[in-house]
Chains A and B, each alone.
Chain A
Amino acid sequence: MPINQPSGQIKLTNVSLVRLKKAKKRFEIACYQNKVQDFRKGVEKDLDEVLQIHQVFTNVSKGLVAPKDDLQKCFGTTELDPIIEEIMKKGEIQLSEKERQLMINKINNELLTIVSAKCINPKSKKRYPPTMIHKALNELKFSPVLNKSTKIQALDAIKLLVSKQIIPIVRAKMRVKISLNVAEIETIDKIKILINDNSPQNNGEINWIFNGLIDPVTYRDLVNLCDGKGTIQVLDMAVIDDSN
């Protein structure tokens, strides 16, 4: 008959687990909430502030400490510090409420800044402040998620805003200068389709030069087309009327 005696028993509250599967074995460490992210980002440097117990487990909730053999087998050492660090850096974590909130806020703010920088009001040729974009996106029920990169989400948001037009908004044009040797007729024709330019070939000159506005979406294609054959120079990332 097993006797449960309280002596030597440690109760943990506020546990946030970090798990790592390595060589078909599962390792866990017991951390405080809201701290693992900070440690990963390097904001928190003190390991003791993050760890609840300086120990590697196979199962924290049952209190099963990982056997030394397993550690040796999987990590090649039995020293705890480097193992814990590896688990902390590579393991899967549970985000706690505050961390999640912070991340969402951060992504949201960054997204708004990007959208605000890339879009303009076609009437006034001015940018929209991030707060306006935020309101418009709220209206469209767009909310950022954690597992996609901010830039991709920002581009999605722009697409959504432009298609729904609840506020007059367009992607700001890019001002570029493209110069190519006249001999590259094929490339020039391809470029012309992309930039909607129908001006005739300017004869007599060695270089074909385009200087004007393009849709930022076509930029990457233009760069690929020009690569090695001519130059493409970005004069302005987003053309905005900044006079008062």
Chain B
Amino acid sequence: MSRVDSSQFSRLQSDPSCIRNICIVAHVDHGKTSLSDSLLASNGIISQRLAGKIRYLDSRPDEQLRGITMESSAISLYFRILRKQEGSADSLVNEHLINLIDSPGHIDFSSEVSAASKLCDGAVVLVDVVEGVCSQTVTVLRQCWIEKLKPILVLNKIDRLFTELQLTAQEAHIHLSKVIEQANSVIGSFFAGQRQLDDYSWREQLEQNASAEYVEKDDSDIYFDPSQNNVVFASAIDGWGFNISQLAKFYEQKLGAKRENLQKVLWGDFFMDPKTKKIINKKGLKNRSLKPLFVSLIMENIWKIYESVTISKNSESVEKIIKALNIDVPARDLRTKDEKQLLRRIMGQWLPVSTAVLLTVIEKLPSPKQSQKERLDTIIAGAPGAESIDTELMDSMRSCDNDGPVSAYISKMISIPREELPLPLSENHLHADLIERSRKARNLASKAAKHAETLERLNKIRSTNNQDVNKEQEETDLYQRAKETVATPELEVLEVKNHNQQMLSHTLNEAYLDSDFNNAETDHDEGLVPQFTPSLDPNDPLASMFEYEEEDPFEQTPIVTEEELADDLFDESDEVLVGFARVYSGMLRKGQEITVLGPKYDPKMPTDNVQTATITDLYMFMGRELVPLEVCPPGNIVGIRGLAGKILKNGTLIEKGVHGVNLAGIPFQTTPIVRVAVESTNPVEMSRLSRGLKLLNQADPCVETYVEDSGEHILCTAGELHLERCLKDLRERFAGIEITSSEPAIPYRETFLDTPDMNPPKHSELGRGSCELVLGPYKISIQTIPLPDSITQFLITHESEIRSFSSVKNAVDTKDVRLSFMRKFEKICSNSELTGRMNLCVSDIASLGPKRSGPNIISSQNNLLGSLSTCSSPTWEYSDSLLNGFQLAVSEGPLSKEPVQGMFVLVQSIKEMTEQELDEIENPQHQKNVLDISGRLITSFRDCVHESFLDWSPRMMWAMYSCDIQTSVEVLGKVYAVVQQRRGKIVSEEMKEGTPFFQIEAHVPVIEAFGFSEDIRKRTSGSAQPQLVFAGFECIDMDPFWVPTTEEELEELGDTADKENIARKHMNAVRRRKGLFINEKVIQNAEKQRTLKKN
């Protein structure tokens, strides 16, 4: 842990003006984690030597392995600056607490970035100078713009300009200014967009009110400008960095110029006239080729160090440089063969990157006090029902008030393995169990003690306020007692609890064991933190242990059990959920009861989506370690425990009884788009998987999980990489079992159309789609007709309504719904022109299907099968069988047993045949008397409906995604290519006003969408980001049974046209999955089989 005492942290935490909450954001691999390493090294958390290599904040093994950050992590840093005060010799010491959040750069984890940015006041935007501004840089800059975070720019990896690109100092200067220009142009485009919006709203206002005035906004302070000191030049890997003001100070003495003046001229086109020694601008240059000051004073010096250390290895000049810079390098380092190390040593001493960055952060980024004042309105504006928020709360949030009502925003829940928590319960499960049990025993003992006077002494100890004395006394006491009894009592606790005398010794024994563990715990901690002396530090784990003891969990039994129910899922596991939160106002205390507002909370309805929780622990984030806290003042970033089961992903904490603001109502930018079905490899462990999925859903802000109708567990993630991480998490942490993932089964629909090139109808005399069913004495003739699209759509959209009244149980209660629906339906039917052909009369409709609520209709005349609208009972005795047959027929269609939609079945007549007619039937297999006619009718009617279905031109319908893609002009063509390649079609394409972006809407079949988002990102280098939303079913415009018939077609496509017929391809795929008959040969050419033993 840090060199800085954590008591110092807690002192600083209470003063919001010296806190800075920053997040480091950048494109992937631009050096965020390396930079944060350097910052950590400045606090002594890691050694200077390792900074930039160890990637301390990448705490997951797979993060280290892949070399990319996957989860944002936070750490608190201490930084002190000495400021000279005018008029006094003493310099003023300014101490600062910097809460740093390192965020991932990969596009899959954008949700982590947006979660982090919501907690911060400022952002450090890193740009790799070689790669320049990349797609994610634009994204994070946009994020900053939207969140109104103040950015500072860090130009990282400047060393690469020298070592890799081998630019001269002057070229490097030009290169750097170009990179800054790029970044500024991005910001400029946001500003322009904003301006355009403002302009529109102004014009709108003008129409209503002529006096509205257009307020021109000043954009000068939003750009990056080195002379404004919001740009840092750095090489995190080599440990150096500077901003202009630092160097201005450095050259102040050397050049004898004024610092303020130097500050202005050190960047930009300013030159030093070699004769007059005066600084001139471009005008004064008069065609002389002078080098800008930035080059001659800064870049060339750095270049020189690089050159003499790494290339020429000239030890003399190195020594000279060291002397000139007035820094101290030990001789051991000078002699070293590892010139990189020497370089780091020199540069790190001359221009340490941590100082440069932290100074800039402190100078340029606002403190919570300042930023909450400025940003609060933007934060609140996004939240619903902003009007009805408590004004007191608003004020205290604005002023970051220590004493105001508590409000905090939780941006995500992170799941931490229990053993990594700084709890006394940590060591492992066994120990935790032991302690838990011994605590129970102690409790029993204390109850017993009330009766047994002999325990007086122990009671006295417990009531002592001074914990340390308590501990010491207890310990000595315990040692004495321990000698008298033989240990290993905890298994007997339940048996002996009635015997007070025995109880006492047991208890004490356990307490002894307990404290032994405590000691082990302390030792363990002390190994890491030598400066942690248990007697002094209030945050010592032991102290919290004792407090825990005093809380006596059994006194509040009713509350506990209630909570246990909710937390059931989370308690059994080895994972602890900690909320990642920013406190806006008021002091957050351990043990405090607090109101939790869900993301759907609306201040207008203050009773919905509200829960109460007790904060069991507070932590300060220190990278992978958590440091326990007692209180947390506003303006800080803090970890909160005790919210498991209360908050799913994000939410708001508000002091009890205060009319709160919903800070979490602002939706996240990214939605999950990659869907897979997950399963445990061993079917027995399925329940663990579903529990693991629930945990994952809570722990990751950008994961969605649900169970499909087919029973598949679906996991939606933001990208392939994200998916990999989630699966790894599931395997190793949340479920702890082997799992397999696969493409989810994709649903289809079947329908049929009326097309001009159909085969001749089977019963030409009766019309297309007609079919006769002869069974026993009955002859049923039906006809199927395709439903017009409007009716199908109407039925699909009203499905839930239909379901509510079609279930037979509550037929009477839902009369109103039924009637109103029928009225609407009648209107639709009378509107559509096509219904004329099938004389659709709403009163004739017997049922809908499948499941009595789908988009298929069966109707009969004269109430043969009953009527849906009037609820009248059917007149034919076997009508139930027919209806069941219909339901079967539409729930499993003839093509691939997928549900049918858009079918209208008209039962034309049902008649009992006379003897004579029966005799006339030619079919020799016809039975006159059928046993179980009602059962036989079901299946035969289904087959009959299917037969007439196939008389038309059948179609497969595939599920479609509607896909929104925002993309820039350059990659528009590539987006089109990907969409077309995946059989999608572009629906609309619009230029977004005021931005260089296009908004494309496309429809892509779900089955082709697997890997679509990955593909589109790859092809466009990440600058196009698709969002997929399920958009219903669409016909594949091809008859799955179509084969080429004309000579031309045969010549072109062969006699089966397998490749061209997508509909058949899909139909066969589904049939194969379901084990149905497929019209495909096992072997194409019998002659060509190889003569081997196995074929």
A and B: real partners?
yes
Q: Contact mask B707-718 → A, CB, 8 Å, 1/0?
A: 111111000000
Q: How far is the CA of A99 from the CA of B1082 in the complex (A)?
A: 7
Q: Decide yes or no whether A244 CB sits under 8 A from chain B.
A: yes
B932 touches A44 (CB 8 A): no
The interface-forming segment of A59-67, A77-85, A121-129, A184-192 is A121-129
What residue of chain B has the Cβ atom nearest to residue A165's Cβ?
B684
A116 touches B883 (CB 8 A): no
Q: Decide yes or no whether B335 CB sits under 8 A from chain A.
A: no
- In the complex, what residues of B have CB within 8 A of residue A231's CB? 877, 880
- With A108-B1075, A131-B742, A223-B934 in contact, is A35–B1086 under 8 Å at CB? yes
What residue of chain B has the Cβ atom nearest to residue A44's Cβ?
B1081
Q: Decide yes or no whether A32 CB sits under 8 A from chain B.
A: yes
- In the complex, what residues of A have CB within 8 A of residue B1077's CB? 41
Find the residue from B709, B1072, B1085 having the highest chain A CB count within 10 A: B709
- In the complex, what residues of A have CB within 8 A of residue B887's CB? 234
Q: Decide yes or no whether B683 CB sits under 8 A from chain A.
A: yes
The interface-forming segment of B120-128, B280-288, B419-427, B1087-1095 is B1087-1095
What residue of chain A has the Cβ atom nearest to residue B707's Cβ?
A126
Q: Contact mask A30-54 → B, CB, 8 Å, 1/0?
A: 0011110110010110000110000
Instruction: Tell me the count of chain A residues lying within 8 A, CB to CB, of chain B.
Output: 60
- With A129-B679, A167-B684, A223-B935 in contact, is A35–B1083 under 8 Å at CB? yes
Report the minimum CB–CB distance from B394 to chain A (whole Å): 38
B1073 touches A109 (CB 8 A): yes
A35 touches B1082 (CB 8 A): yes
Q: How far is the CA of A235 from the CA of B1073 in the complex (A)?
A: 27
- In the complex, what residues of A have CB within 8 A of residue B1073's CB? 109, 113, 130
Q: Decide yes or no whether A242 CB sits under 8 A from chain B.
A: yes
The interface-forming segment of A20-28, A132-140, A195-203 is A132-140
- With A34-B1095, A132-B679 in contact, is A150–B1075 under 8 Å at CB? yes
Q: How far is the CA of A223 from the CA of B934 in the complex (A)?
A: 8
B707 touches A244 (CB 8 A): yes
- In the complex, what residues of A have CB within 8 A of residue B809's CB? 211
- In the complex, what residues of B have CB within 8 A of residue A116's CB? 710-711
8 A Cβ contacts from B422-479 to A: none
Q: How far is the CA of A50 from the CA of B1091 in the complex (A)?
A: 16
Q: Decide yes or no whether A9 CB sits under 8 A from chain B.
A: no
Q: Contact mask B1053-1095 → A, CB, 8 Å, 1/0?
A: 0000000000000000000111111011111011101010011
What residue of chain A has the Cβ atom nearest to residue B684's Cβ?
A166
Q: How far is the CA of A113 from the CA of B754 in the complex (A)?
A: 32
- In the complex, what residues of A have CB within 8 A of residue B1087's CB? 32
Q: Decide yes or no whether A143 CB sits under 8 A from chain B.
A: no
A13 touches B1091 (CB 8 A): yes
- In the complex, what residues of B have CB within 8 A of residue A124's CB? 690, 707
- In the complex, what residues of A have CB within 8 A of residue B677's CB? 129
Q: Decide yes or no whether A110 CB sits under 8 A from chain B.
A: yes
A227 touches B684 (CB 8 A): no
The listed residue (B683, B880, B1082) touching A34 by CB distance below 8 A is: B1082
- In the complex, what residues of B have CB within 8 A of residue A236's CB? 851
Instruction: Tell me the count of chain B residues lying within 8 A, CB to CB, of chain A.
Output: 52
- In the complex, what residues of B have CB within 8 A of residue A107's CB? 1075
B710 touches A33 (CB 8 A): no
Find the residue from A102, A129, A211, A233 having the highest chain B CB count within 10 A: A129
Report the minimum CB–CB distance from A233 to chain B (whole Å): 4
Q: How far is the CA of A39 from the CA of B432 in the complex (A)?
A: 70
Find the residue from A14, A37, A50, A107 having the highest chain B CB count within 10 A: A14
- In the complex, what residues of A have CB within 8 A of residue B884's CB? 233-234
Q: Contact mask A98-112 → B, CB, 8 Å, 1/0?
A: 110010011111111
Q: Decide yes or no whether A224 CB sits under 8 A from chain B.
A: yes
8 A Cβ contacts from B325-367 to A: none
Q: Decide yes or no whether A56 CB sits under 8 A from chain B.
A: no
- In the complex, what residues of A have CB within 8 A of residue B852's CB? 235
- In the complex, what residues of B have CB within 8 A of residue A35's CB? 1081-1083, 1086
Q: Decide yes or no whether A149 CB sits under 8 A from chain B.
A: no
What residue of chain B has the Cβ atom nearest to residue A220's Cβ?
B935
B1086 touches A49 (CB 8 A): yes
Report the minimum CB–CB distance from B1055 to chain A (whole Å): 11
Q: How far is the CA of A242 from the CA of B1082 in the complex (A)?
A: 38
What residue of chain B has the Cβ atom nearest to residue A49's Cβ?
B1086
- With A35-B1082, A43-B1081, A167-B686 in contact, is A98–B1075 under 8 Å at CB? no
- In the complex, what residues of A have CB within 8 A of residue B883's CB? 233
Report the minimum CB–CB distance from B797 to chain A (whole Å): 18
- With A102-B1082, A126-B707, A129-B677 in contact, is A113–B1074 under 8 Å at CB? yes
Q: How far is the CA of A231 from the CA of B874 in the complex (A)?
A: 12
Q: How far is the CA of A113 from the CA of B1074 in the complex (A)?
A: 6
Q: Decide yes or no whether A177 CB sits under 8 A from chain B.
A: yes
- In the complex, what residues of A have CB within 8 A of residue B1083's CB? 32-35, 38, 98
Report the minimum CB–CB distance from B1091 to chain A (whole Å): 5
Find the residue from A43, A50, A99 having the highest chain B CB count within 10 A: A43
What residue of chain B has the Cβ atom nearest to residue A134's Cβ?
B683
Report the minimum CB–CB distance from A131 to chain B (whole Å): 6
Q: Decide yes or no whether B745 CB sits under 8 A from chain A.
A: yes
Q: Decide yes or no whether A97 CB sits under 8 A from chain B.
A: yes
Q: Decide yes or no whether A18 CB sits under 8 A from chain B.
A: no
B707 touches A109 (CB 8 A): no
A37 touches B1095 (CB 8 A): no
8 A Cβ contacts from B241-276 to A: none
Q: How far is the CA of A109 from the CA of B690 in the complex (A)?
A: 25
8 A Cβ contacts from B838-861 to A: 851-852
Report the minimum CB–CB distance from B1025 to chain A (whole Å): 26
- With A132-B686, A240-B709 in contact, is A38–B1082 under 8 Å at CB? yes
- With A44-B1081, A116-B711 in contact, is A50–B1086 under 8 Å at CB? yes
Q: Decide yes or no whether A218 CB sits under 8 A from chain B.
A: no
- In the complex, what residues of A have CB within 8 A of residue B684's CB? 139, 166-167
The listed residue (A13, A102, A110, A227) touching B934 by CB distance below 8 A is: A227
Report the minimum CB–CB distance from A220 to chain B (whole Å): 8
Q: Decide yes or no whether A17 CB sits under 8 A from chain B.
A: no
What residue of chain B has the Cβ atom nearest to residue A209's Cβ?
B808
- In the complex, what residues of B have CB within 8 A of residue A44's CB? 1081
The listed residue (B935, B1076, B1079) touching A43 by CB distance below 8 A is: B1079
- In the complex, what residues of A have CB within 8 A of residue B1080's CB? 43
A residues in contact (CB < 8 Å) with B: 13-14, 32-35, 37-38, 41, 43-44, 49-50, 96-99, 102, 105-113, 116, 121, 123-124, 126-132, 135-136, 139, 150, 166-168, 177, 211, 223-224, 227, 231-237, 240, 242, 244
For the A-B complex with A113-B1073, A121-B711, A223-B934 known, give 5 more contacts whose Cβ atoms are closer than 8 Å.
A43-B1080, A99-B1082, A132-B686, A132-B711, A235-B807
**What are the nearest 6 A-B pairs in CB distance?**
A110-B1075, A109-B1075, A32-B1086, A127-B711, A233-B880, A136-B683
Question: 12 A-B Cβ contacts within 8 A?
Answer: A13-B1091, A43-B1081, A98-B1095, A105-B1075, A106-B1075, A109-B1072, A110-B1074, A139-B682, A150-B1075, A227-B932, A233-B883, A233-B884
